[in-house]
Homo-oligomer: A and B are copies of this chain.
Amino acid sequence: MRQRSLRDHNLALVLRHVTAANRPPSRAEIAAASGLTRATVSTIVDELIAGGLVAELEPVSRSGVGRPGTGIVPAGTGPAGLGMEVNVDYLAVCAVDLTGAVRHRQVRHLDQREHSPAQTWQALGELADQAVAAVAARGLTPAGGVIAVPGLVEGDTIRIAPNLGWQQVALPRPEDLGGLRGLPLDVANEATLAALGERHATGLRSFLYVSGEIGIGGGIVLDGELFGGSRGWAGEIGHVTIDPQGPDCHCGSRGCLEQYAGEEAIRAAAGLPAGATVLADLAAGAARGHAPVLDALEQAGTALGVALSGAVNLLDIATVVLGGHYAELIDWLRPAIERELTRRVITARWSPVKVRASALGADAALVGAARAVTQAILDDPARFLATRTAAE
């Protein structure tokens, strides 16, 4: 039972080298980097090629003396991960291949607050159908799907998604989403998946991801791994206390970060009207140097800085990534955030905390959901190969 697991481990090890390298590595380079023998790497690469997970490049002549190596690349055709996102006013679907490249992407505006979950699943199913068809046309095989939702997820049910108005909604069955019949399907928190997306897009190994939308979500990546906590509910930075005596929050507490740096709070502080264009209004106002907007962003940044300082003190993390609306407002948020971090993080004087904007922007959760699927394959290729051969 453990003899085979050695091979499984090395399968993953080699595949990881192939996907992580910035240049297609040869078998010999993989061997040198991984500590395995060239012989072992050869047989493992053969197995991966047979399974359709990697492919050989045309033997291109490279610089240097000696026989040139044939580059190994993640298979462009092969399994694809489907990412789906249910948000307040839109649905989205995308597909990524093993390299992490987005091969399909589609967004459809639909306000979930006006529809039942069943209707949402129906609409999402149509998008998923089209994605499966588009992906298949490119020679890829869908290998599974993950749905990102802005709420607390426990196992296969959505406990509560306040901004969607959902409570205790069950994950749809794969066959309810049409083309996903027979494939593994999962739900997870939007911000958590966005953090995963950022992890791959940026290459950062440890960071705190904070996303400002209507609510504030967060995700924690530690040493390359998503940290979920005991029950997968980690990262809820939106309800960290900024001021114990602060304004009441809909969560039942007082002085939560969301009351200072949530979209609604910033809008109100800036004196802007409610509506669908709050983000655009804020960005425009800030760009024009409108004082109430700048002050509102400064206050939000200060509150964010206080919350982030606590998190950094607790976790000793060197980088903070701002996503969602924050990414577009970063220029006006950053000064206050960095001021608070410098002041409040006890180790900041030796190693300052870096604050950067999301690399994926609004697509982070969507792409992260899709990558969760491919990541599972990369982490345990043997399992994927087993199910693949079992299906034939």
Contact = CB atoms under 8 A, between A and B. Distances in A.
B241 A35 contact: no
Interface in A228-245: 228-237, 239-245
A297 B281 CA distance: 47
Interface string A328-344: 00000000000000011
A344 B239 contact: yes
Given A344-B239, A344-B253, A229 B315 contact: yes
A26 interface: no
A234 to B, nearest CB: 4
Contact of A314 (B245, B251, B311): B311
A351 B218 contact: no
Contact of A244 (B6, B9, B306): B306
A227 interface: yes
A149 to B, nearest CB: 16
Contacts of A313: 236-237, 239-240
B2 A35 contact: yes
A183 interface: no
Interface string A250-262: 0111101000000
Contacts of A359: none
Contacts of A239: 313, 344, 346
A318 interface: yes
Contacts of A193: none
Contacts of A242: 241, 244
A33 to B, nearest CB: 13
Given A243-B243, A343-B253, A344-B241, A316 B2 contact: no
Interface string A51-79: 00000000000000000000000000000
A231 B316 contact: yes
A238 to B, nearest CB: 8
The listed residue with most B CB atoms (<10 A of its CB), out of A3, A218, A317, is A317
Nearest to A251: B346
Given A1-B35, A206-B230, A231-B347, A220 B314 contact: yes
A148 B6 CA distance: 38
15 contacts: A2-B10, A152-B346, A152-B347, A159-B350, A230-B318, A231-B347, A233-B347, A234-B314, A240-B314, A241-B242, A241-B310, A241-B344, A243-B244, A244-B306, A314-B315
Interface of A: 1-3, 6, 9-10, 35-36, 152, 159, 206, 218, 220, 222, 227-237, 239-245, 251-254, 256, 302-303, 306-307, 309-311, 313-318, 343-344, 346-347, 350-351
What 4 A-B pairs are tightest by C-beta distance, nearest first? Answer: A229-B316, A233-B316, A240-B310, A234-B316
